[in-house]
Structure 1
Amino acid sequence: MIPATEAYTARYKVETDQRTHYETRPIVAWDDAGYALVADTKKGRLVRANKDSNFAGLQLEEDAPVIAALPGGGWTALFTGDAATTNTEPVLAWHVFASGFMKPVVMERGGAPEDPTEIENFVRLIAPGEEAGHD
């Protein structure tokens, strides 16, 4: 086992009631075959991060500084609303982190920038020219 020396996280896609968001768990170590390991709190041991079917990949922790911001480019974020309605918000920018990871940015109701994929009623991102209908 090799201790994790960089702050990686495992991402897990969670889908409920036409909503999609991601949960993360820190990578604690790497096994001898090179697989990322996370703590299984129920079993009290380390397990491979990719063992769950909703595993969505690894990313460097977001502690990496933002090194650039790119325009939103016509992308929008789709959210569920009350009474089975949906609404969209424009992606204002894409934050580019030193790790190479990028995150979309929307403006939250309070006026602060926010990653739409971390908002509870987020459904998905919509590419420019794409229809907003559900998958």
Structure 2
Amino acid sequence: MIPETGYITAAFKIGEGPCERRRVVAWDGDGNALVPDAIDGRLTIARLEPGFQWLDAEAAATDPVALIPGGGWVAEHRDGSTAPVVAWGVGLDGAMRAYVASGDRAVSADDFEELSFTVRHPAAEGEL
């Protein structure tokens, strides 16, 4: 087994929602990506897991490694609706992203293009 030292994720499509991503933590002797199996408590071959779609090095770079509170910032969506920024996240790539609540999870504009939004602080005038 060879440890994965980069930021590669395996994407899985389960049901109607967006793909679930699990970090690749190692490679076996045959070059298969290994991901944690939370139910069995062991590493499994990603491509053999139900719903496996692909491996992705780019998406993992946007995963947040640190979060700070939203601080009163507001997201303005394309349709004119607004939502509070619940957190700011710093990704593995070093970029800062705003996260808003969407259903039962927090998402950034990078997660889904249709959720594209601009952010502003209520105390500021105009778009920042």
Normalised by the shorter chain, which TM-score bucket?
A: 0.3 to 0.5
Comparing both chains, which one has the higher relative contact order based on Cα–Cα distances under 8 Å and sequence gaps of 6 or more? 1
Greater per-residue strand proportion: 1
